Structure 1
Amino acid sequence: MSLFQMTLWWQALILLCCILNCVESSAPSPVHQSDKYHNSFRLARSTRTRVQQLQRRYKEQQLGDGQFEDRSRQLRDLPSLSTDYYSWLNLTDWERLHGAFKDMQVYWNMLEWKRTQLEREQVTRGAAHNILPHSMKYIQLDLRDLMSQVSNQMSFMQSSWVKHTSPTARAPLNPDTGSKTVWDSRVEGYIILRDLELYLTKLARDFLLLASKAQVTQH
């Protein structure tokens, strides 16, 4: 082997080592992934606290009763909260995160719909400033941050995952507004917040499970 060929060979070897080091350093360690899931857990929990506070305020202002409860009413567009325990355990990490991303997108859209509706009513009636739409916006921002975290976690699992962290508002999910009373419309907002609180409890549980699995992988 000539000196020129030997030099090229060493240069190629050094380049390959640099590439491998970059790949290795960019891959998240189990510890790092566990920390990310714990961060998502904390955000889900703090968001749930916001939802609980808003729900009490919403029931006082819109329904006239801070203790109002009605578990019989449902909205068909909201994600199902019922989960078969064994099916839940057998979900892959990818399925768990992908499902969470889609469900949070639905809740973001539902809050956008109800928030816009409240703002329109406020303008139409010339009412004093209502804090409810503002509080809903804060929760939407929390959901957007959670979706961004989930998207980043998914990107480590599957390189083909296309990040999409900016939710897009869509048309009202319940278009038959003509047949609804003002009371029915207000109860819809309660249902959204009620189910979102329960969903965030479920989501926090998922993040804890993912964090524990990442720690087990480490050991």
Structure 2
Amino acid sequence: MVVPSLPPGPSGPTLHPAIGPPAKDVMRKAALDARKAFVRILSDAERAQLEQRLAEQLTSLCAEASVVGGYAPLGSEISPKLATEEARAVGRIVAYPAFDHPAKPFKFRAGDPLQPGPFGIMQPKKSAPVVVPDLILVPLIAIDGAGTRLGRGKGHYDRALISLRKSGARLVGVGWPMQRLAETIPADEWDVPLDAFVSPDGVEEFR
């Protein structure tokens, strides 16, 4: 696998303080703050209801896949667990991102995320088999109408998705409805555009 050289974070080099942070960093902070604020006002019952609706939207996508790449949600991220559990119940393999080394792209390993990885994200044990998903559920901070994803700025998904895109995997962003932005997210050359966005409100195809 050939991994392109990335600058320090997908937002590029930091600008001089007098100029201010790059527009993408400003957009990332605003979108993350908005997501946290949205989730903060949800009751447990409301959050569970929205995640149930998300699972209903994901059902047909997961049914068409053989190996589903999920993710262990952090903080205010919406959880796809109901959908991945349903996929496993009907015979699909479910895998999660797993780092063998923090400086290298993660791989997908089949199995439950039972131990913390190098960045505090739960991942399967190293003994779990490496698999190549044909459907990948991608967490995000925001996404626009072109499928450009705004992530945490570390480039972990961008590095991993390059080869997975080439393998034919379908890349589907997952989030709350308010994470779909009307404005355009600046795209860098290393950004991997997603094929669709799924929220409790429905599925939006980009390509």
TM-score (normalizing by structure 2) = 0.27
> Greater relative contact order (Cα 8 A, min sep 6): structure 1 or 2?
1
Greater C-alpha Rg: 1
Higher helix share: 1
TM-score (normalizing by structure 1) = 0.26
